[in-house]
Structure 1
């Protein structure tokens, strides 16, 4: 049988055994997602199953596929009220699969990725799902990160200013052509960085398809997944990104008709207000955060196409993901200028 890209099943079987996992029968591996982020596999024997994640095989966006980061935060959250999968093993040096990789328990719950997946939910289910997503995000932002052992996980002071610089550098690393609006938005963001901001664990990629729902209960999150962009920073960056993901153009980045862009979910403004009510916090400098989220997503879309052009298998539509970049930059400019 041909091995999956980025996978070495015999080496993975040995690694699991070295980490206290006694296999029941032959280890098999299926690709869950080769898509827009890290490669994700389901590894299983005759009794149990695990999820294995590693970076793409080529065309990496610097700092955007950090498995050590994902491992650190999910390990630390095990004893909190934030739902995460149970951690199993971490190959920090990449000896097993040729790149750092994490292994966690497989949760057999439901993931709502596409409009077709969403069709299975009633309007009441969607409402319950939305409320739960907001509650879980609020719980994450409420975690005492020092008590969880994550005091050195990031540097909240100056976080949003560094984000502007980080994503500007990412653009230079992955751009496939010049876009004047990128520089315009970058300059406006640099001039509008808030003088103060909040501090919490941030997920960095929070939306409905990055959680696993309990079977038969879309109003209950079993596990939040895809933590490779998490850090300590401003919680409003999480909220704004969740809201900006609602734009229809995000379908081009994902390469599918995404559930999260469906008009069955509340609008971005409604989601932000729900979060504000849940946490009792305001949304200061909200236009800045929306603009920054648009800037980030525009760069991410460009990076997906960059990886595709570099030969990485990033899934259907990857070569055209950058077509969304200009629209995100334009949306960011409208936001920071106070326009709809």
Structure 2
């Protein structure tokens, strides 16, 4: 299996020779002059010395102009040469290559650019790509070496943190590929873009098109029948279900299984019960589907449900289909890229929608409930303790102490409201241009229960470290500088919206929230031990 992909700039293969020819025609220069002038001198050619940073732009143009004169016996307008290379229409990333990079990163592979770069007359480095798409960028000019020097491949591998046999290198120049292959790197020659992507797909084993944010290709262990699904959707949606069906899977590993379905112009989400699972799933998808319909009618922003299928013969277990809500999903609670004022607005919107959820009046029949009124927390502790025992792989003293401590500190009284059960920032879809919640996701633990448990779950991020697996935390972050309210300020936002006082036994609810998180992580650990 591969862990990383290295490539030159994500532009059209062979575009530079075309640009050379175009410039020669425009300036009445004999054909082939530019290519010959750039390569004259081998390792000491003007182009290689320039890309290694040994020549400034002015010095390069002087040497290049002299070489052209020696070859063609004509003076050439060298000052226009660099400007011609960076014409707008020629420096755009190829959309299909950019999408391929997104698909590769969605699978957890690292990406790197390893390119022979150059600078402009202003001495500014020229690198026409979206740097956020790459984990590592190695510019020959900055490193003082260029392809096919083996040292530059080794440098790129070192920065990626991978071995040669774990990486793939794309290039359109044979000598560059040969040097990489001699180090043990898998190589793909880019003669044409479509052919190179086809070969790369074969190497990687997953598609490099059809990217949808927050998704990856469908895992082999969770594949479903596309033909049976398409037949079902054609029956349910009628004339709206036209075109080829493209299936991807949302990245989280917890049940229910969640897929993105592209059918013609329709973007849908399918949630399906796993046939067998160690993790608690909360309400079955049948129940969750009913919850979403009821919440939608009550004015809570949730995706519209289109259909429920309880016939396991279709896809192996019950599932439901809903509209895909496009928008922005913030996976990092620090909200990088937003100004401080917008960060605070996002947190304000989050607290407002949580209080709105808790104000909804639904019948007990529409939600799972915690047995007798006011016993939600007690039942939840029992349920999660039972789940922990089911996924336990070794005795963890801290967990045993917490399991003993929680029943001794149950709240004396509890409010009862609609409880989301897993309320956090990355379960909210925001409007792409303003801090407005378009949809609340992740209702598998919805119940009638104690609303304070939702607030505590929402505040866990304040006490988690910044990198915490797929979660992100705010511990030790400068919240004032970021513009993010503190845990006390955020929870007070909620108490003000809900007309409540800060509970004296707040620490109990936080301990319970972290207990649930620990059980879920233990379940994922046991999954990994089973190779899933």
TM above 0.5, yes or no, is: yes
The equivalences for 1:124-135 within 5 A come to: 124-135=341-352
The equivalences for 1:98-247 within 5 A come to: 98-114=316-332, 118-146=335-363, 150=365, 153-155=368-370, 156-217=373-434, 219-247=435-463
Shift of 1:55: 4.1
Shift of 1:100: 2.5
Return the alpha-carbon distance in structure 1 between the equivalents of residues 441 and 509 of structure 2: 23
Out of 72, 94, 102, the position equivalent to 2:312 is 94
Return the alpha-carbon distance in structure 2 between the equivalents of residues 37 and 267 of structure 1: 31
Whether the aligned pair in 2 keeps the contact of 1:33 and 1:39 (CA below 8 Å) is no
* SS state at 1:95 partner: helix
Superposed CA deviations along residues 196-253 of structure 1, whole A, max 9, x for unmatched, are 1011111111111101111211x1000001111111110001001111133224843x
User: How many residue pairs get matched?
Assistant: 306
Task: Confirm whether residue 267 of structure 1 aligns to residue 483 of structure 2.
Answer: no
CA RMSD of aligned residues (A): 2.5
Whether the aligned pair in 2 keeps the contact of 1:145 and 1:151 (CA below 8 Å) is yes
Alignment partner, residue 95 of structure 2: none
Return the alpha-carbon distance in structure 1 between the equivalents of residues 502 and 304 of structure 2: 33
Return the alpha-carbon distance in structure 2 between the equivalents of residues 152 and 125 of structure 1: 34
Cα 1:303–1:26 change in 2 (3 A) is: same
Alignment partner, residue 294 of structure 1: 514
The equivalences for 1:306-325 within 5 A come to: 306-312=526-532
Shift of 1:95: 3.0
Cα 1:144–1:69 change in 2 (3 A) is: same
Return the alpha-carbon distance in structure 1 between the equivalents of residues 273 and 223 of structure 2: 9
Whether the aligned pair in 2 keeps the contact of 1:89 and 1:104 (CA below 8 Å) is yes
Return the alpha-carbon distance in structure 2 between the equivalents of residues 67 and 78 of structure 1: 16
Task: Confirm whether residue 52 of structure 1 aligns to residue 270 of structure 2.
Answer: yes
* SS state at 1:52 partner: strand
Cα 1:12–1:74 change in 2 (3 A) is: same
Whether the aligned pair in 1 keeps the contact of 2:466 and 2:474 (CA below 8 Å) is no
Superposed CA deviations along residues 287-324 of structure 1, whole A, max 9, x for unmatched, are 21111111111111111111122232xxxxxxxxxxxx
Shift of 1:84: 0.3
Uncovered stretches (5+) of structure 1, i.e. residues with no partner: 313-340
Whether the aligned pair in 2 keeps the contact of 1:211 and 1:221 (CA below 8 Å) is yes
Whether the aligned pair in 1 keeps the contact of 2:245 and 2:263 (CA below 8 Å) is yes
The equivalences for 1:327-338 within 5 A come to: none
Out of 202, 208, 225, the position equivalent to 1:8 is 225
Shift of 1:101: 1.9
Shift of 1:45: 1.9
Whether the aligned pair in 2 keeps the contact of 1:207 and 1:260 (CA below 8 Å) is no
Alignment partner, residue 286 of structure 2: 68
Alignment partner, residue 6 of structure 2: none
Whether the aligned pair in 2 keeps the contact of 1:6 and 1:98 (CA below 8 Å) is no
Out of 240, 255, 260, the position equivalent to 1:42 is 260
Larger Rg, first or second structure (1 or 2): 2
Q: What TM-score, normalized by structure 1, do the two folds share? A: 0.82
Cα 1:57–1:248 change in 2 (3 A) is: farther
More off after superposition, 263-272 vs 163-172: 263-272
* SS state at 2:233 partner: helix
* SS state at 2:320 partner: strand
Which structure has more relative contact order (CA 8 Å, sep 6+)? It is 1
Task: Confirm whether residue 256 of structure 1 aligns to residue 470 of structure 2.
Answer: yes
Return the alpha-carbon distance in structure 2 between the equivalents of residues 64 and 251 of structure 1: 27
Uncovered stretches (5+) of structure 2, i.e. residues with no partner: 1-204, 207-216
